[in-house]
Amino acid sequence: MTEAGTLTIDLGDRSYPIVIGPGLLAARERVDACIRARDVLVVSNQTVAPLWLAPLRAALAGRRISECILPDGEEHKTLAIVGRVLDALVEARMNRDCAVVALGGGVVGDIAGFAAACYQRGVDYVQVPTTLLAQVDSSVGGKTGVNHPGGKNLIGAFHQPVAVLSDTGTLDTLPERELRAGLAEVIKYGLIRDAGFFAWLEEHIEDLLAREPAALVYAIRLCCACKAAIVARDEHERGERALLNLGHTFGHAIEAAAGYGSWLHGEAVAVGMTMAAEMSARLGWLGRRDVGRIRALLQRAGLPPDPPRLGRARALELMRMDKKVASGRIRLVLLEAIGRATLTGDYPPAVLDSLLEDTVGKVA
């Protein structure tokens, strides 16, 4: 389908729609249905605002609109920047019935969502994601927050948006490298839950790289449906939701060690998924043929195959700050098959040590 379609994330009285399709920002009735508040703070960044703020502003005509335009980049996903959004809310004299609208990728969405969670103990926010990664993952599910020099996404809150408006037309202006990074999260859904979707991706990855509209809408819708179902069952990540972090424990360590912004999140996740597949194979859980299929698909998507040489000790230090660590044990999302992931801390530490030595190096 290339026309707009709506999914619902079922969270009782906090349920919300995820509207997916091209041209949504120009469809006033769609925007009205998602953004009901009279007073709106649009949060965007210096790259996205010149491209996509005008149609959103036009669709919001008649409301009291304020804007907060942030510097672009993962390195700005900090507590200090959240302070700037909060200042903008106070300066605009926004009350509890306002809405924060996040127009941008996952960085803008995570910052704006966290500011909305904090302001006056929680106001509404609407996600208007403009990257593939944000449309398939970060805009859905209510994880908000910022980085700390000591670890990725260490400061944050669960705060669900009231709607997600995914205009797939905004992907037309997305740089190629960002599109590829988003594909890492798309492939993740096939790996954790849906072998059929993984096989579809093997057939259609070039269509996605070519931004073929029907292929994009199909993949985004399928990823959102998968995430919506998981979040509805386990909103606060007591169990199943952790599977959405396949590749992230390794990936977050790479992002933090390399310096936020130097590796894209999706690139780090792609390498992390290769490492998780390799570890699963070394434990005898995953066949070598499947490891090969995973590597091949990520490579065709133009994603990096190997991590930087950050060294085993530094990798372990950063991985120990991961939010899945329990009783001091690093729990990893590993694969039992393509389409079947599991969260476990039950593996011989020597297997992780040797995997790290062989991939990120014995020393930096």
Provide CB contacts within 8 A for 229, sequence distance 6+: none
Rounded CA separation 277/42 (Å): 40
**Residue whose CB is less far from ligand GLY, 320 or 323:** 323
138 forms part of the interface with ligand NAD (CB under 6 A)? yes
44 forms part of the interface with ligand NAD (CB under 6 A)? no
Among 20, 30, 115, 178, the residue binding ligand NAD under the rule CB under 6 A is 178
Question: How far apart are CB 346 and ligand NAD at their closest, in Å?
Answer: 26
Rounded CA separation 166/281 (Å): 37
Among 30, 180, 241, 314, the residue binding ligand GLY under the rule CB under 6 A is 241
Rounded CA separation 348/328 (Å): 15
Provide CB contacts within 8 A for 172, sequence distance 6+: 211
CA dihedral 263, 223, 239, 154 (to 10 degrees): 30
Residue type, 145: G
Give the three-state DSSP class for 126.
strand
- Candidates 98, 171, 109; CA nearest to 140 is 109
**Residue whose CB is less far from ligand NAD, 77 or 331:** 77
159 forms part of the interface with ligand GLY (CB under 6 A)? no
β-bridge mates for residue 42, sequence order = 67, 101
Binding mask 200-239 for ligand GLY (x = CB under 6 A): ----------------------------------------
53 forms part of the interface with ligand GLY (CB under 6 A)? no
**Considering CB under 6 A, how many residues would be counted as binding ligand NAD?**
29
Strands 16-21 and 163-167: parallel
237 forms part of the interface with ligand NAD (CB under 6 A)? no
133 forms part of the interface with ligand NAD (CB under 6 A)? yes
Is 204 in the active site?
no
Question: How far apart are CB 293 and ligand NAD at their closest, in Å?
Answer: 24
- Candidates 156, 128, 117; CA nearest to 35 is 128
Interface contacts to ligand NAD, rule CB under 6 A? 45, 47-48, 51, 72, 74, 77, 104-108, 110, 130-131, 133-134, 137-138, 141, 143, 153, 170, 173-174, 178, 181, 265-266
- Annotated catalytic residues are 121, 143, 185, 227, 237, 241, 245, 248, 252, 265
